[in-house]
Structure 1
Amino acid sequence: MQDNRPIPTTVELVVAPEPRTTRRETAVVYMPEAPLEMKYFARCFAHAYITPAGAPCKADPAPFIRAAVGAVLPSLRYELLPPGHGADRMVLFRSPEDREAAMERQPFALDGASARLVREGETSDLQRVNLDTLAHVALRGYPREQRSVEDICSNCCSFGHLLEVDPACFTAPNLSPVRAVVRTEHAREIPRQVRIRWPGGAFRHVVPVQILRVWDRSESTDAANGEYVPIYGPAVVVPP
């Protein structure tokens, strides 16, 4: 028994590492959309990059950034934080409006060097993708012990963001298919099978994935409010 849930007799004991495949080695996880308050908070951040690369001020960037920004926007208030995304410093503004005011006046030049701001989420090391593909999939031989929305979402997160689940799946017999709709970048992201692991990692259950239908997200979007129109009804839509 793992995590107070019984291990089905259909699982197999893992005795060797999973074999390498032709699929990419980087980990891809589809996360739920951030709440509005977190989106607002993210719009208060920027990353400061000092050029040229050999500028002496890069050894101690905070005084230079404060002096360069202060020369142009003396009343602007912000906080300098440890850097990320290859920047010299992270900048936290008091509001998104303050950040945009600084963006409009950059670059901030001083003594032969300059500081340039990049908005949070727009740095060159991040890749933005459009999740415009919807797929109706069937997870075959799916164990009854993992039929909560949370478990299904977790088991689908490697290839898509779970939108809804067929409610009939929750009362179906053990190892019957679980049908769900996921939002993904490309249908080719959907694997032929997923491995469901129980807590502790000692056991796994291999679930074949069948693609039932693929279509563009615009076909399931309400023209009035831009929201997703579920195929199984609003009661089974997974909260964002």
Structure 2
Amino acid sequence: MAKKKSGGWLESIKTILYAALIAIGIRTVAFEPFNIPSGSMIPTLLVGDYLFVSKYSYGYSRHSIPFSPSLFEGRIWARMPERGDVAVFKLPRDTRQDYIKRIVGLPGDRIQVIRGVLHVNGEPARREPLGDFVAEGDGPRMTVRLFREFLPGGNNHLIVEQSDDGPLDNTPEFVVPAGHVFAMGDNRDNSLDSRVPGAVGVIPLDNLVGRAEFIFFSVDGSARWWQVWGWPFAIRYARIFSAVR
């Protein structure tokens, strides 16, 4: 009997280890889950969204592996992001932090914001006004302006603007260095991004973790963990399995 019990424990431990290794493998080479803690990507992503990021989209760097071990330099099977991708990356000044923003500038691009309008290589990105939008989930509720922004090359997405004369609405021209990208939040007046060189700045390609693909769960924060009766009403059902664009 003692041998059987010992063997049973050993098999259980092996099963747990195998499951952990499979999970780490999937998380490293395929998909990794992330949650959205701030409103910098409103309206595309809301506080309380949970999404999957594809790890294979840009190839693999050491940041593709949990805890970013220094096993190798550069990227394996590297692929350049597309302008307009929503990507997760390691913050250049502190690679322990994950950020998620939209890539608007590729290596060699000239990026500038003038009176709230993004300019790529001297060309203004057209903004189509879509009316008012109520932003919530990251501080007090506020009504902002909703636009569809068209990037050079054809990709388009939604952004929100509180005004066109805020601190980040008029910037110097940034030239994106080789091996880097330039990223901005869709909540243009409330995003710490590449427009702030001392805080984020341009992002090395090696720091890219992956591309945001789809939302698999979303809650609006109206029910706390102990308010079990409120859980079903806190879920944003319409956002589940929606693609990130």
The two structures share one fold, judged by TM-score above 0.5: no
Specify which structure has the higher proportion of helix. 1
TM-score range, shorter chain: under 0.3
Structure-1-length-normalised TM-score: 0.23
Specify which structure has the higher proportion of strand. 2
Greater Rg over alpha carbons, structure: 1
Structure-2-length-normalised TM-score: 0.23
